[in-house]
Amino acid sequence: MSKQDYSRQDGKHHLHPFSDNAALAREGVRVMVKAKGIYVYDDEGNEILDGMAGLWCVNIGYGRKELAKVAKKQMKELPFYNTFFKTTHPAVVELSATITDIAPSGFNHVFYTGSGSESVDTMMRMVRHYWASVGKPQKKVIIGRWNGYHGSTIGGASLGGMKGMHSQGDLPIPNVVHIEQPWYYGLAKDGESPEEFGLRAANWLEEKIEEIGADKIAAFVGEPIQGAGGVIIPPKTYWPRIEEICRKHDILLVADEVICGFGRTGNWFGHETMGFKPDIFTTAKGLSSGYLPIGAVLVNDKVAEGLKAGGEFNHGFTYSGHPVAAAVAKKNLEILQDEGIVDQVKNETGPYMKKRWEETFSQFKYVDDIRSEGLICGFTLVKDKARRELFPNTGETGLMCRDIFFKNNLIMRACGDHMVAAPPLVMTKKEIDKMLAVAEQCMREFEQMMDKKLAKEEKAGKKEEKSDQ
Ligand SMILES: *Cc1c(COP(=O)(O)O)cnc(C)c1O
């Protein structure tokens, strides 16, 4: 197949995730052929800086030969065996020791999955099974948040708060409810400080618990920092208050660490950065730096004991603890440890990114709420900074901006009208400068385009006014 053929052939047969496939087949796709470090390369030879680490996952960067090596070795030795029927294998035993060693104290048990969505679905079944095991089978309701993202399976999509996902196919499933997200910029009252807002937002959970009854609620689940919702970083008061509420009402607290886990926020886990202790946390993405699909659900000793008391948990995946994925994940974690990458994000590149990110974007009039933590960053495109006025038709402006970045060979993502970045954690200060130099150019281009668009709209609006008179 010639290079151009890939794009055309793709449109003929391949249904893409989260895409309008008819439009995509007409317009064509970009064909990625290789990757190295923080760059991916397309079939036209363009070098594209990957500011999203794939999908928030390629944390140690592309092209790490060590991972290829352990995968090859494991494939030759034991490419597959299951862990269902009184069997195990060295790769999964070793990974479990490594993960629980990295996890905060009190987390000594892990259940494996093949993805973030499977981790979330596992957790949803697990919290209900836990309560049934300890004699409270009526505790079934799981509380998530609007605009949260927890994957695309029926459970994960239900628990997530993406209305566009709920609108397709009768979601959410029963006994899954949502509270509002802790988005200070969009939801704070006039004069309310971030700290005050954080407490008020956390109290929405208590209101929901009182409405439903704590005796019916199994768990509250949230991403420490909302990723796909647009990198929403809650005020520091939010999570400790959430934890307090969960303890008071005897509800399990679950952190969805699929993005935040394994170093993204400058600590091993996002809940450490945000200052709370969950009972369970779900992971995937950064666990293997995306080199192979694998996820893991970690449970604290209390939950592990409860589950063990409940006899058989009728749940598992063919690929739970897949040997090749497990071997690769273990090597990935060792690289993060040996190269001190998490500390580097915490003490060097994270703070540097914060400073440079703010410097770069604060000069633009359509940008506000510039934020970052470790190497997860965002800002919001707004029509009028002084009045905190967002653009109408949420998402349209974000896509326009994203396309300018993509055309200039820098991958950032638009989540609604939030522009976000989550580059590989191995990114150096020099590479941060390089990324932001390109981003600055892109934003200039965006600003000019938006100036023209708004001027045109204003002119059209005036004409309409005249003809109305
Ligand atoms: C990506 C993501 C998921 C889903 O993971 P998949 O591997 O795509 O199934 C779940 N939760 C969060 C927080 C995520 O970012």
DSSP state string for 46-60: -EEEETTHHHHT-TT
Ligand 1 centroid–CA 171 distance in Å is 17
Closest residue by Cα to residue 315 from 99, 94, 101, 133: 133
113 — phi, psi (to 5°)? -140, -175
Task: For ligand 1, say whether the CB of 96 is within 6 Å of any of its atoms.
Answer: no
Cβ atoms within 10 Å of 420's Cβ, excluding its own: 26
Ligand 1 centroid–CA 417 distance in Å is 20
Ligand 1 centroid–CA 93 distance in Å is 24
- Distance (Å, whole) CA 259 – CA 377: 12
- Distance (Å, whole) CA 325 – CA 292: 5
Kindly list the structural domains of the chain, giving each domain's residue range(s) and its CATH number in brackets, ordered by start. 31-63+341-459 (3.90.1150.10), 65-339 (3.40.640.10)
Ligand 1 centroid–CA 462 distance in Å is 46
Ligand 1 centroid–CA 282 distance in Å is 9
Strand partners, 144: 178
Task: Output the six-digit token pair for 302.
Answer: 């209390």
Residue in 285, 291, 420 to alter for ligand 1 test, most ligand atoms within 8 A of Cβ: 285
Residue in 52, 55, 149 to alter for ligand 1 test, most ligand atoms within 8 A of Cβ: 149
Ligand 1 centroid–CA 389 distance in Å is 30
- Distance (Å, whole) CA 171 – CA 150: 13
Q: Would you call 308 exposed, middle or buried from its count of C-beta atoms within 10 A (0-12, 13-18, 19+)?
A: exposed
- Distance (Å, whole) CA 82 – CA 203: 44
Residue-level length of the chain? 469
Ligand 1 centroid–CA 294 distance in Å is 11
Ligand 1 centroid–CA 147 distance in Å is 13
- Distance (Å, whole) CA 399 – CA 419: 9
- Distance (Å, whole) CA 92 – CA 369: 43
Answer for the pair 257, 217: CB distance below 8 angstroms, yes or no.
no
Task: For ligand 1, say whether the CB of 116 is within 6 Å of any of its atoms.
Answer: yes
Ligand 1 centroid–CA 189 distance in Å is 31
Closest residue by Cα to residue 209 from 128, 136, 143: 143
Closest residue by Cα to residue 233 from 188, 185, 281, 200: 185
Residue type, 367: V
Q: Whose CA is closest to atom 11 on ligand 1? A: 150
Q: Whose CA is closest to atom 10 on ligand 1? A: 150
Task: For ligand 1, say whether the CB of 258 is within 6 Å of any of its atoms.
Answer: yes
116 CA: nearest ligand 1 atom: 5
Task: Output the six-digit token pair for 205.
Answer: 């959970």
Residue in 57, 145, 150, 281 to alter for ligand 1 test, most ligand atoms within 8 A of Cβ: 150
- Distance (Å, whole) CA 54 – CA 52: 5
Residue type, 449: M
Q: How far is CA 76 from the centre of its chain?
A: 33
Cα distances (angstroms) measured from residue 81 to each of 78, 84, 85, 232, 298: 7, 9, 10, 40, 22
219 — phi, psi (to 5°)? -160, 155
Task: For ligand 1, say whether the CB of 259 is within 6 Å of any of its atoms.
Answer: yes
- Residue by residue, pLDDT tens for the chain (469 residues) are 666 689 989 999 999 999 999 999 999 999 999 999 999 999 999 999 999 999 999 999 999 999 999 999 999 999 999 999 999 999 999 999 999 999 999 999 999 999 999 999 999 999 999 999 999 999 999 999 999 999 999 999 999 999 999 999 899 999 999 999 999 999 999 999 999 999 999 999 999 999 999 999 999 999 999 999 999 999 999 999 999 999 999 999 999 999 999 999 999 999 999 999 999 999 999 999 999 999 999 999 999 999 999 999 999 999 999 999 999 999 999 999 999 999 999 999 999 999 999 999 999 999 999 999 999 999 999 999 999 999 999 999 999 999 999 999 999 999 999 999 999 999 999 999 999 999 999 999 999 999 999 999 999 988 877 776 6
Among all chains, which residue has been given the structure tokens 């952190």?
255
- Distance (Å, whole) CA 416 – CA 395: 4
Answer for the pair 431, 38: CB distance below 8 angstroms, yes or no.
yes
Cα distances (angstroms) measured from residue 409 to each of 23, 78, 156, 432: 22, 40, 32, 15
- Distance (Å, whole) CA 125 – CA 130: 9
Coil vs helix vs strand at 273? helix
Find the farthest-apart pair of alpha carbons in the chain and give their distance in angstroms, rounded: 81
Answer for the pair 412, 439: CB distance below 8 angstroms, yes or no.
yes
Task: Output the six-digit token pair for 38.
Answer: 């923080």
295 CA: nearest ligand 1 atom: 7
Q: What is the pTM of this model?
A: 0.97
| DSSP conformation class of 62 | B
Q: Whose CA is closest to atom 5 on ligand 1? A: 116
Residue in 145, 221, 258, 288 to alter for ligand 1 test, most ligand atoms within 8 A of Cβ: 258
Task: Output the six-digit token pair for 172.
Answer: 């959410």
Ligand 1 centroid–CA 116 distance in Å is 4
- Distance (Å, whole) CA 327 – CA 268: 19
Task: For ligand 1, say whether the CB of 284 is within 6 Å of any of its atoms.
Answer: yes
Task: Output the six-digit token pair for 13.
Answer: 């047969």
118 CA: nearest ligand 1 atom: 9
141 — phi, psi (to 5°)? -70, 135
228 CA: nearest ligand 1 atom: 15
273-288 residues labelled b (16+ CB within 10 A) or e (exposed): bbebbbbbbbbbbbbb
DSSP string, 183-249: -HHHHPPTT--HHHHHHHHHHHHHHHHHHH-GGGEEEEEE-SSBSTTT-B---TTHHHHHHHHHHHT
Task: For ligand 1, say whether the CB of 323 is within 6 Å of any of its atoms.
Answer: no
